[in-house]
Amino acid sequence: MSGALPETVEPVRPRPYAWPMTVDKLTDLLVAKLLRDHGKSKHHWRTLIGPIRLYSRATHPHCNWSVTPTGPFADVARLETLLDELRLAHPFITA
């Protein structure tokens, strides 16, 4: 074997999370996943999530957003688990 690449190489497909994520899209994604997995209402989850705060990449090089949820302990725990997953997939978002 010569070490040459095969003639038919599949193109690299962008991952679904490779496109820029915005605050609004992230909020919608959080609400949709929480509603699907745990029920309740959109209003309940949006109120629990509250505003998503953005930070400068210069001062926050690993993740430029944060959420400070308020509400029942069990719901906050569910949200925090989902936030940990989404921080890995979307460490940087835009306004």
**Please, what are the averages of pLDDT over each run of 10 residues along the chain (95 residues)?**
60 60 96 97 97 94 95 97 94 92
Q: pTM for this structure?
A: 0.78
Q: Quote the pLDDT of residue 80.
A: 97
Strand, coil or helix: 89: helix
Q: Quote the pLDDT of residue 20.
A: 86
Strand, coil or helix: 94: strand
Nearest to 94 by CA among 47, 29, 26: 26
Bridge-based pairing state of the strands 93-94 and 65-67: unpaired
Write the CB contacts of 63 (distance below 8 Å, at least 6 apart in sequence). Answer: 87, 91, 92
Phi, psi of 58 (to 5 degrees): -65, -35
